[in-house]
A and B are shown apart, each in its own frame.
Chain A
Amino acid sequence: EPEVTQTPSHQVTQMGQEVILRCVPISNHLYFYWYRQILGQKVEFLVSFYNNEISEKSEIFDDQFSVERPDGSNFTLKIRSTKLEDSAMYFCASSEDQGAPGYTFGSGTRLTVV
C-alpha cells in the first residue's frame, strides 16, 4: 500500500536554529498538508499546498514557517527560528483530490527544541 514517508523520525534542535522537515507524499497525490500535535494536545492543521502554492493556512502558520515542493517528490516544512513551543510531532499528509477522504498521513517527525 502506498505510504507517505517522513524524515527524520526524530529531530532535536537548539532554540533559534532552522529546521527542515521532509516528506515524500504518495506519487499521484496532488494535495499536501502539514499538521502538528503538541504532546497531550489535539492534532492541529498548519497548511495545505496545491499546485505549488499554499491553499490554506492556520493561525499557527506564521512567518516563521514555510513550505516548499523543491522537486517532484519532496514536500518540506521549514521553521526558520525554532522556539521551545515548536516542540511537537509534525505529520505530513497527502490526498489525491480536494477531499479529506483521500488523506494518507505519514508516521510523523518528532521535533524537540531545547
Chain B
Amino acid sequence: AQSVSQHNHHVILSEAASLELGCNYSYGGTVNLFWYVQYPGQHLQLLLKYFSGDPLVKGIKGFEAEFIKSKFSFNLRKPSVQWSDTAEYFCAVNARTGANNLFFGTGTRLTVIP
C-alpha cells in the first residue's frame, strides 16, 4: 500500500525566509506526486505536480519541488516566503497505473510571521 510521510507538522518562519517541507513516500511502483495547499477556510488547491521528465518541478506562487527517486522524496521549496503563504501544505501520491485515488500526507502547517 502507498503511504506518504510529512515529518514537519508545524513550521514557523519569518517573511523572506527560505522554506523546505519534507515529503517521503512509500510505494513499489511508479507514482505521480503532488503538493496541495489549503488556505484557512478554503479548499485544496494544486500547487504543483510531477509525472515524469525533469525532476525539478515549478509550480504556482514561486513554489518548486524536487523528485529524488533514490530517496523516495518530493520536497517542497520556496526561496522567500510571504505572510500570504500561511496555510496547510499536503503532499500526495497516486499510482501511475491502477487505482486513481490520492494518498495524502498528514500535512504541514506553515505560519509566516510578518
Contact = CB atoms under 8 A, between A and B. Distances in A.
Contacts of B82: none
Given A42-B107, A43-B90, A103 B43 contact: no
B70 interface: no
Contact of B100 (A4, A48, A91, A106): A48
Interface in A92-107: 95, 98-101, 103, 105-107
Contacts of A106: 43
Interface residues of A, number: 24
A32 to B, nearest CB: 11
A101 B104 contact: no
A105 B101 contact: no
A21 B32 CA distance: 29
A42 B100 contact: no
Interface in A51-74: 55-56, 58
Contact of A56 (B36, B49, B101): B101
A44 B104 contact: yes
A25 to B, nearest CB: 13
A43 B45 CA distance: 13
B106 interface: yes
A55 B32 CA distance: 19
Interface string A27-51: 0000101010000011111001000
25 contacts: A4-B43, A31-B100, A33-B101, A41-B106, A42-B90, A42-B104, A42-B105, A43-B44, A44-B104, A45-B101, A45-B103, A48-B99, A56-B100, A95-B100, A99-B32, A99-B100, A100-B94, A100-B102, A101-B32, A103-B102, A105-B45, A106-B43, A107-B42, A107-B43, A108-B43
Interface of B: 4, 32, 34, 36, 42-46, 49, 51, 90, 92, 94, 99-107
Interface of A: 4, 31, 33, 35, 41-45, 48, 55-56, 58, 91, 95, 98-101, 103, 105-108
